[in-house]
Amino acid sequence: VVGKGHERMNLFTPGPVDMSREAQQAIGRPGLCHHRSEPFRRMMSKLTTLLQAAFLTRGEVVILTSSGTGAMEAAVANLFSSGDKVLVPVSGKFSLRWAEICEAYGVNTARIEIAPGKAPEPDDVVSALEADPAICAVLLTHCETSTGSLTDLEAICRAIHDLELLRSREILIIADCITSLCVDVLRVDDWGIDCAVAASQKGLLSPPGLAFVSLGDRALKRVRTAESPRYYFDFRKYLHTEIPFTPAIPLVSATLASLSHLAGLGPEPVWRANRSGALAIKLLIQAAGMRPVAERQASGVVAFWTGDLDAAEIAHSLEREHGITVAQGQGGLKGRILRVSPIGKGPGALLGFAAAFSSVLEKMSREVDMSSIETELNRLLEDCSIWE
Ligand SMILES: *Cc1c(COP(=O)(O)O)cnc(C)c1O
């Protein structure tokens, strides 16, 4: 499964990830389906329904032509007005992005600084909200992809909703679920997330270029009243009407094909497969004497300290000798960590990665004791066989 050459499927990066077979077949089909045609309208409607099922929401889902960051910016532009006050826990590069976007729109942004590898906890969020009654929203990051840290969204949402009742306040919850949709357990309506953002190139195993925003009733009300300037990404243009601008038609077909397949597998097996894939990678790096960065491990990516071994050298050898692409650290973590994503990877691909990783480390005089983890690894890989 793992080998040299570009024809092989070897992206172990936390986005984009290798496309599903279904997405590949759809993207390879010749001809375009015109976006003002009945067949395309049916495709958009099916994709919307599947996205609602994936987010587990009965709210609206807006489909945008952009990468994930575009949808994050769109959420801020549509939900807030300049001068509104919001809270952003910052625990890495992606949660920082929420703060930067809010600031670009003149939204008054209170930050909670959190050490890399840690996630915001309910108490952190509640204390910050109690300290400032003017805060009207919290922007969270479900999987902080720079560290592989999973935020306990369910617990934080519950704490915020309790506070809302206690203090008769409305506090909107916006969540970046870009690396968690169809990867980690996510229940938008049950947890009371007003607005969740996702993209095509991670858990949906589709090409990059589409982004999705779920909007509950309270968020929809804000969309109507927010005063931030917006045009292309004005959600009012997308709601209850046909897509306003020429969409990335092939990406709609590819994402529809891939998400239909995922829906057929069912949410629980998909969550379990990605979770077990992440635990398999974690087991492997621990057998190599390395430590994961995250305290609470997300399923979308495992980030780990390479210790006295040079992270860049490991990444280059994996690429050059085995055709495997992994991600390096960003910002202050560059050269010190590697990030490997198990999203959509079956037992063959994961064993291929394990063999390549061990071989690269052996050349750097580091032994990986595979025999000590064999039983546990095989047990985890069974869950991943849905991908083969
Ligand atoms: C990938 C990712 C993004 C979006 O990145 P784009 O390159 O704009 O698609 C945002 N947040 C998180 C947590 C991500 O993993």
pLDDT in tens, 51-90: 999 999 999 999 999 999 999 999 999 999 999 999 999 9
CA of 116 to the centre of ligand 1 (A): 17
β partners of residue 89: 112
CA distance 83 to 169: 18
CA of 158 to the centre of ligand 1 (A): 25
pLDDT at residue number 8: 59
A 10 A CB-CB count for 261 gives 16
pLDDT at residue number 241: 87
- Binding site membership of 15 for ligand 1 (Cβ less than 6 Å): yes
CA of 230 to the centre of ligand 1 (A): 21
- State the closest ligand 1 atom to the C-alpha of 208, by its place in the atom list counted from 1: 9
CA of 38 to the centre of ligand 1 (A): 32
Query: Which secondary-structure segment (H or E) carries 388?
Result: none
CA of 177 to the centre of ligand 1 (A): 9
End-to-end CA distance of the chain: give it in Å, rounded. 11
Q: How confident is the model at residue 3 (pLDDT cuts 50, 70, 90)?
A: very low
CA distance 185 to 373: 26
- Binding site membership of 175 for ligand 1 (Cβ less than 6 Å): no
- Which residue intervals of the chain are DSSP H helices? 21-28, 38-55, 68-79, 93-104, 122-131, 153-167, 188-191, 217-225, 235-238, 249-265, 267-287, 311-322, 347-363, 374-383
CA of 283 to the centre of ligand 1 (A): 26
Q: Tell how strand 302-305 and strand 143-144 pair up.
A: unpaired
DSSP state of 148: T
- State the closest ligand 1 atom to the C-alpha of 67, by its place in the atom list counted from 1: 9
Q: What are phi and psi of 141, to 5 degrees?
A: -125, 115
Give the CA angle between residues 76, 299, 264 to the nearest 5°. Answer: 90
pLDDT at residue number 19: 97
CA of 371 to the centre of ligand 1 (A): 36
- Binding site membership of 67 for ligand 1 (Cβ less than 6 Å): yes
Give the CA angle between residues 161, 194, 72 to the nearest 5°. Answer: 130
CA of 210 to the centre of ligand 1 (A): 12
Tell me the residue ranges of DSSP E strands in 298-347.
302-305, 327-328, 337-340
Mutate to test the pocket of ligand 1, among 69, 150, 233 (most ligand atoms within 8 A of CB): 69
pLDDT at residue number 177: 98
- Binding site membership of 94 for ligand 1 (Cβ less than 6 Å): yes
- Binding site membership of 117 for ligand 1 (Cβ less than 6 Å): no
Q: What is the pLDDT of residues 140-194, one digit of tens each?
A: 999 999 999 999 999 999 999 999 999 999 999 999 999 999 999 999 999 999 9
- Binding site membership of 141 for ligand 1 (Cβ less than 6 Å): yes
DSSP state of 109: E
